[in-house]
Amino acid sequence: MLNLDVGRATPGGSSARPTRRKMLEIGTLAALGAAGGWSLPTLLRAEEAAGIRNNPKSVIMIYLVGGPPHQDMFDLKPDAPSDIAGPWRPIATNVPGMQICEAFPQLARLADKFTIVRSLVGNQADHDAVQVFNGRDPRLPKPPLGWPQFGSMVSRVQGAASPASPAYVSLCYQCTHGPYNEPGSGFLGPAHAPFRPMGPTRKDMVLHDISLERLSDRMSLLAGVDRLRRDVDSSRNMEGLDRFAEQAMGLLTSSQLADALDISQEDPRVVERYGLGDPTVFIDSNGAPRVPQSLLVARRLIEAGVRVVTLNYSKWDWHGGRNTEGRADNSIFTREREEFPIFDRCVSALLEDLHECGLADDCAVVIWGEFGRTPKISAQVGRDHWPQVNCAMLAGGKLRHGQVIGETDRIAGEAISRPVTFGDIYATLFHHLGIDIDQTTITDTTGRPRYLVSDEGRIMPELV
């Protein structure tokens, strides 16, 4: 029997009221008329009677691999000396007084739909994606097996919103530079690792020992579940199911996950709006590919009922001189002229798409990297690593947008007002998902209950 057993954590770390996914056991579905026990058809009836509709809150997290230059994107200082300001100039947005880089004209007209945080502090100084994915400073002590990443925690606390889609999908490409990769599910273990459809073939796409082919192939899935096969593999038995049982079967055996991953089913005009990139070309050899269509796939997965989607996008660790591909024209500003228009196009497409699909209130988006860049531009290394301050972009989630949070000094080197931490942003994202960070804990391998965010992480009142 396939047991989809995911509970909801309580302050003591125990499992309380079973979630929708926990209540579903395929064995009970085979005995729909039997008394006692929860089956998906029974749950669906109860939900309809209560007026409940399956409309889960969700998050898309976009990691800009290597640390984006905050002062060239969203915190420009045009009055600073040229070796600090750089060549870019700010442009007005559709929000009075809010300016961003002139290379982002499409985002500028959508500024009322997002928020810029200019004062993200507490960054570590090395290339390490761990803080981006779980909000924890990697320099501090951690529990055995490490902290789980955000999507794994959501998987543990809330489970899947739909039996046909996992709680957490990672669209992150595996980078050859290890610190650029997701830290994993930590002490929550493989049961809450993300579903990863990024292997070289569709056969690599596996969720809890069920390949995407089996998930998308009704007969293969039925053949793999003995009790279900005995009772529902004939059309005669299917005719006896009421519409709720049919809906349950549709959820269990649908191809919606496979369909969500297949952008050939999308309107070609929408695909064109996002743009396409080559997933086999890793920027600077060790970064992630520049794949705008990953943002489209993320939207499709959210539409299919996935709670959390993470993706890594391109390579933002820009320095001067020759890069690992031997290009001599690889100054930071050459790379920015190459990267910024593509970023402007695909991110603006995602924001517009979420609104047009009616998902913007339910889906929050966060875009960030592991640190900022140095204020002073070096002829040798361009803008180097700068942990003192960083920026982030937030959108959707029915948050208060059209604003800038925080301020840096005249060279974008230090936060001088409203410092924000990774923990603050994650606290706000958990709040958006309906998770109480003050009451909810997850239990580590030693049996100790752990809170979801670091001690200093608090919900941002400017946004909620």
Domain of residue 136, CATH code: 3.40.720.10
**Mean pLDDT value of segment 420-444:** 98
For residues 9 and 77, membership in a common domain is answered with no
Mean pLDDT of the chain: 82
Task: Provide the pLDDT for residue 320.
Answer: 67
User: Contact 138/124 with Cβ under 8 angstroms?
Assistant: yes
Q: Are strands 415-417 and 403-405 parallel, antiparallel or unpaired?
A: unpaired
For residues 129 and 195, membership in a common domain is answered with yes
332 token code pair: 């930071």
Whether the per-residue pLDDT at 363 is higher than 80: the answer is: yes
Query: Does residue 460 lie within any of the structural domains?
Result: no
Query: Does residue 457 lie within any of the structural domains?
Result: no
Domain count, the chain: 2
User: Contact 316/66 with Cβ under 8 angstroms?
Assistant: yes
Query: Does residue 239 lie within any of the structural domains?
Result: yes
> pLDDT tens, 115-130?
999 999 999 988 999 9
For residues 34 and 91, membership in a common domain is answered with no
For residues 196 and 47, membership in a common domain is answered with no
Q: Which of 220, 149, 238, 168 is nearest to 21 (CA)?
A: 168
Query: Does residue 458 lie within any of the structural domains?
Result: no
How large a percentage of the chain has pLDDT more than 90? 65
For residues 26 and 139, membership in a common domain is answered with no
Alpha-carbon distances, residue 320 vs 74, 128, 335, 411 (angstroms): 21, 21, 10, 20
For residues 116 and 236, membership in a common domain is answered with no
For residues 127 and 228, membership in a common domain is answered with no
**Mean pLDDT value of segment 450-456:** 94
Query: Does residue 462 lie within any of the structural domains?
Result: no
The larger pLDDT score, comparing residue 212 to residue 61, is at 61
For residues 124 and 174, membership in a common domain is answered with yes
Q: Give, for 62, the enclosing helix (H) or strand (E).
A: strand 58-64
Q: How confident is the model at residue 221 (pLDDT cuts 50, 70, 90)?
A: very low
- The C-alpha angle 98, 99, 100, rounded to 5 degrees, equals 135
User: Contact 225/26 with Cβ under 8 angstroms?
Assistant: yes
The larger pLDDT score, comparing residue 370 to residue 227, is at 370
The CB density around residue 168, as the number of other CB atoms within 10 Å, is 27
The larger pLDDT score, comparing residue 144 to residue 228, is at 144
For residues 196 and 287, membership in a common domain is answered with yes
Query: Does residue 464 lie within any of the structural domains?
Result: no
Query: Does residue 104 lie within any of the structural domains?
Result: yes
User: What is the pTM for the complete model shown?
Assistant: 0.80
Whether the per-residue pLDDT at 205 is higher than 90: the answer is: no
**Mean pLDDT value of segment 252-258:** 67
For residues 246 and 260, membership in a common domain is answered with no
**Region label for 462, one of left (φ > 0), alpha (ψ between -120 and 50) or beta (otherwise):** alpha
Say which range, 36-45, 164-173, 412-421, 434-443, has the weakest mean pLDDT: 36-45
**Mean pLDDT value of segment 406-432:** 98
AA identity, residue 59 = V
Task: Provide the pLDDT for residue 281.
Answer: 92
Rounded Cα distance, 316 and 314, in Å? 7
For residues 414 and 355, membership in a common domain is answered with yes
Query: Does residue 225 lie within any of the structural domains?
Result: yes
Q: Which of 459, 455, 409 is nearest to 433 (CA)?
A: 459
Rounded Cα distance, 407 and 343, in Å? 24
Q: Measured in whole angstroms, how far is the alpha carbon of residue 301 from the centre of its chain?
A: 11
Q: Map residue 242 onto helix, strand or coil.
A: coil
Q: Map residue 60 onto helix, strand or coil.
A: strand
Q: What is the dihedral of CA 184, 189, 195, 201, to 10 degrees?
A: 80
For residues 248 and 283, membership in a common domain is answered with no
Residue 21 belongs to what domain range?
Answer: 1-53+218-254
* Boundary-marking domain end, from 198, 232, 254: 254
